[in-house]
A and B are shown apart, each in its own frame.
Chain A
Amino acid sequence: MKKKSFLSRMVRLAFGFAMLTLLLMGAVSYRWMVISDDSDRWVRHTHEVLSNIQDLALAMESIESATRGFVLTGKESDLDAYRANVARVAQDQATIRSLAVDTTVQQIYIPQLQVLSAERIQRAEMVINLRRTKGFASAMAAVASGPDERDTEFQALIGKTLDKELLLRTQRVARTDGYLSQSKTILILGILLGISITGIASWAAVHDSDKRAAAEESLRQSEDNYRGLMEAAPDGMVVVNQAGEMVLLNAQAEKQFGYRRDELLGQKVTNIIPEGFAERLIADGTRTAAEALAQQIGTGIELIGRRNDGTNFPIEIMLSPLESAEGILVTAAIRDISVRKNAEMHLARMEERYRGLMEAAPDGMVVVNQAGEIVLLNAQAENQFGYRRDELLGQKVTNIIPKGFAERLIADGTRTAAEALAQQIGTGIELHGRRKDGSEFPIEIMLSPLESAEGILVTAAIRDISVRKNAEMHLARMEERYRGLMEAAPDGMVVVNQAGEIVLLNAQAESQFGYRRDELLGQKVTNIIPMGFAERLVADALRPVEVALAQQIGTGIELHGQRKDGTAFPIEIMLSPLKNSEGILVTAAIRDIRVRKAAEEHLAMKLEELSRSNRDLEQFAAIASHDLQEPLRMVASYTQLLARRYKGKLDSDADDFIAFAVDGATRMQQLIQDLLAYSRVASRGKDLLEISSEDALRQAIKNLGGAIQESGAVVTNGSLPNVLADESQLVQLFQNLVGNAIKYQKGGTPHVHISAVMDANRKWTFSVKDNGLGIEPQFFERIFGMFQRLHKREEFSGTGIGLAICKRIVERHGGTISVESQPGQGSTFHFSLDATALKSQQDSEVVLCQ
């Protein structure tokens, strides 16, 4: 390449010189022509001047001779010649003057010549006039006495002028000759030089073109070879010239871009590779195209290819130069890297995910390659070792873990790296970490392999076990002091620091939670008590640790413990503070309260069972009484119909029997109705609302109107409060109590007084006081039982359900009922109801009572 350009440059140079020489020669010849023309002119000029001067001299001679002739003859005709020669002199003088303008020497002579010739003509004129006037003699005398010196002077001047002109001519000819010989020499030399240069140049050109033909031939051959190679290449190949046009491409390139070959040839390469390729071919201010290209050669450049259908796909191109007849071409090997890109993206995503996981990990995480270099780490690791990420990436892991880690990555004679690693996977290895400031701290690392594009990487989870180690040390110091005490305790004991980490525990705690001591030391207490304990150690915005803790000290807190096997069990913990050099520790006495809890649960279950059976019973009572009523109604109705139609028509026994049957049926109907009424206290009870107890009493009195009128009873009351009650039941309660007060009398006028007072528990105690029969104290309890009667039916009717219903109503309202009485002194029934002020509390009590 270089040689060729050198040769052509030589040829170009040679031709340049030849041209230059020719130009020079042309110039010289021109000058020569100009000079010779000039000198010709001068020679002609000189000759003209000379002939004119001679003609002038001749004319002057003719004037003289004509004058003399006239003098001799006196014939006027002889003067014609004279006159012609005077005119000739004037003409010659004018010609000489114009010719001698350029010669300074002649300019001196010519005026003198003029003056002299003018003088001579004047004298001739004078002679002619004398001849005419004075005649021949005087004229002859004038001719003879004529001043000959003037003639001589004129002749001399003519001679001088001629000499001068001849000298000028000689000088000019000599100078012209000099120029001519000089030019001749230059011309000869120039021709010789031009011939030789042309000769050399044509030799060189012929030589060069021979060589080039040979080179082109070999290039064509190599191009053919190259074309074959290109088609065989697995990648798309495109050859591009410096103008960025495609001059060659292979079948793979056609396939890749979806064009036919003829659609691409001669087209701009930007059609298929819009950006990044063409730019690389072009020279800029600081470098040539070849240099620009040279910088790209051999390196894979990732670009985007565009298919015929407009879709884009990622490609990698490798450029290489290709010398050709048309200059430097660029061969681009184009590889479709969609798959690789996808894989890379996938990998990047995976890595991203992994990175996210890593950052979320509570431990420091460091990923190391087989060369022991750190390739990835998380923020925790940065914190642990006090380095910035960029200070560690690519560095040897021995910088932060001087011993014991890197060695584990390395294969030895008997095992591969993978095997070496496999033996370490999943086991905690205790080593020492070194911080940036040089300080060391105990760590535990857990290794796990991570397969990646670069081979097997090792992820190391690094836990700072300073606390644990400190705890171990602490344990060693404290154990003697506390061990005896702690081990003697009947409960599990766990000592926890402010970070919630277990620093001490006893054998009972081990057995309670199913862990070995070393499995718990340094671990978070949340591992064994997931909720409710660690939170209590933590200060919040409103209170410092001490206060937070103080609030918990000494009170039993019921929580759940979690065993190693994952099962939970109920515990009660008692906290107490333990001040030491590291701050406040908390000792938790942990009691397994499974038994107590079981008992409590058992109790709750029993309660639930009981209330269910109660409900069942009530339902039973309701259904039974309702369904029993139907057949009983038949019995009662038909015995009564019998009694009506056949009384006195059968015998007296029959009448008695029918009467008993009627009575039994009727009583049974009453019992069933009472039972129904009793069960309805619960089943038809309404919500408790704030009502006026006085209104309820008024209604009850109204309902008892007949009985009161009949007995002439006097019913009075004190001021009665608003209470929380089911109004219709409160009415029934008053009705039953007042009804009883009127009913159980010895014959006098019944007096009934109802009053209410508030007791210390903010409950209203109502009293219904009468002046009736009174009750014996041993019956105080019994009278509230179902169907309990203290009198014969003949004395007082009724089934004995009234007070049972009263009791049930009061109990449903969360109150109690009792009686105070002396036989013969009247009775006072007391019952309590909730005041309305403490509504929420009452509601909950009511729920409990139900």
Chain B
Amino acid sequence: MSINVLLVEDSPGDVRLTQETLRNSKLPITLHVATDGVEAMSYLRHENGNGQSPRPDFILLDLNLPRMSGREVLAEVKGDDDLRTIPTIILTTSDAEVDILRSYQLQANCYLTKPVRFEEFETLVKSIDDFWLTKVKLPGRGNASD
């Protein structure tokens, strides 16, 4: 049974980079992509033709998104009794102090800055794979590696 990851990211380059990097994972990962906040919320709430979409085990969320920002998505997810248990990781280019603080105040599970260099980005995605998807016990799944 594969792990469902929702990637909320407007940059196709970053989507592809993430996909390419996760391809080497030992785990069967299914990556679902939403390119803005509204789409992400539709997916999570099974609206607008997302009736059958599986509940993600994990969300990777960019902050700067068109229509509905990552901060708003984060606030909605963490304000929803049903969705708040889904681990949500902020993955963004911003390293502004105010963004970091605000995200943690909205109960983000982790805040990561996109590294400038490719190797570093690769390492980061691998470490997410290694830590969050492999070592961490996610709700409703028991040990992820099982």
Where the two chains meet, the residues of A that have a C-beta atom closer than 8 Å to any C-beta of B are 626, 629-630, 632-634, 636-638, 640-641, 666, 669, 673
Contact = CB atoms under 8 A, between A and B. Distances in A.
A633 B17 CA distance: 11
B10 to A, nearest CB: 11
A630 B13 CA distance: 10
Given A629-B93, A630-B93, A641-B20, A669 B117 contact: yes
B121 interface: yes
A636 B118 contact: yes
Interface string B38-52: 000000000000000
Contacts of B117: 636-637, 640, 666, 669
A430 B146 CA distance: 117
A637 B93 contact: no
B116 A636 contact: yes
A633 B11 CA distance: 12
A633 B116 CA distance: 6
Contacts of A636: 116-118
| A-B pairs, 9 with minimum CB distance | A640-B118, A637-B118, A634-B13, A669-B116, A633-B116, A637-B17, A630-B93, A636-B118, A637-B121
A641 B125 CA distance: 14
A626 B96 CA distance: 11
A632 B117 CA distance: 10
B13 A673 contact: no
Most buried by B among A632, A641, A673: A641
A578 to B, nearest CB: 68
Interface centre among B11, B117, B119 (most CB of A within 10 A): B117
28 contacts: A626-B93, A629-B93, A629-B116, A630-B11, A630-B93, A632-B116, A633-B114, A633-B116, A634-B11, A634-B13, A636-B116, A636-B117, A636-B118, A637-B13, A637-B17, A637-B117, A637-B118, A637-B121, A638-B13, A638-B17, A638-B118, A640-B117, A640-B118, A640-B119, A641-B17, A641-B20, A666-B117, A669-B117
Interface string B80-113: 0000000000000100000000000000000000
Interface string B107-144: 00000001011110100000000000000000000000
A410 B56 CA distance: 109
Interface in B1-57: 11, 13, 17, 20
Nearest to A632: B116
A673 B118 contact: no
Contacts of A638: 13, 17, 118
A685 B114 CA distance: 24
Contact of A673 (B11, B116, B119): B116
Nearest to B93: A630
Contacts of B121: 637
Interface of B: 11, 13, 17, 20, 93, 114, 116-119, 121
A805 B116 CA distance: 21
Contacts of A632: 116
A633 B91 CA distance: 15
Contacts of A673: 116
A750 B117 CA distance: 31
A673 B118 CA distance: 15
Contacts of B114: 633
A636 to B, nearest CB: 6
A641 B20 CA distance: 9
Nearest to B14: A634
B129 to A, nearest CB: 17
A843 B11 CA distance: 46
A841 to B, nearest CB: 32
A96 to B, nearest CB: 166
A637 B11 CA distance: 13
Given A634-B13, A640-B117, A669-B117, 5 more contacts: A629-B116, A633-B114, A636-B118, A637-B117, A640-B118
Q: Which of A629, A633, A638 has the most CB of B within 10 A?
A: A633
B12 to A, nearest CB: 10
A564 B114 CA distance: 71
Contacts of A634: 11, 13
A641 B118 contact: yes
B107 to A, nearest CB: 27
Interface centre among B17, B20, B118, B121 (most CB of A within 10 A): B118
Nearest to A643: B118
A636 B117 CA distance: 7
Contacts of A630: 11, 93
Contacts of B118: 636-638, 640-641
A634 B9 CA distance: 14
A81 B20 CA distance: 212
A664 to B, nearest CB: 14
Contacts of A626: 93
Nearest to B114: A633
A638 B119 CA distance: 11
A522 B11 CA distance: 83
Contacts of A669: 116-117
A16 to B, nearest CB: 127
B92 to A, nearest CB: 11
A640 B121 CA distance: 11
B32 to A, nearest CB: 22
A659 to B, nearest CB: 14
A629 B13 CA distance: 14
A632 B11 CA distance: 13
Contacts of B17: 637-638, 641
B120 to A, nearest CB: 10
A669 B119 CA distance: 14
A673 B114 CA distance: 14
A356 to B, nearest CB: 63
B70 to A, nearest CB: 15
A647 to B, nearest CB: 14
Nearest to A631: B13
A473 B69 CA distance: 87
Nearest to B119: A640
Nearest to B115: A633
Nearest to B120: A637
B43 to A, nearest CB: 25
A211 B73 CA distance: 126
Contacts of B13: 634, 637-638
Contacts of B119: 640
A638 B13 CA distance: 9
Nearest to B13: A634
A530 to B, nearest CB: 51
Contacts of A637: 13, 17, 117-118, 121
Nearest to A673: B116
A203 B114 CA distance: 150
A640 B21 CA distance: 13
Nearest to B64: A630
B133 to A, nearest CB: 22
B118 to A, nearest CB: 4
Contacts of B20: 641
B121 to A, nearest CB: 6
B113 to A, nearest CB: 11
A640 B93 CA distance: 19
B62 to A, nearest CB: 11
A636 B114 CA distance: 13
A637 B20 CA distance: 12
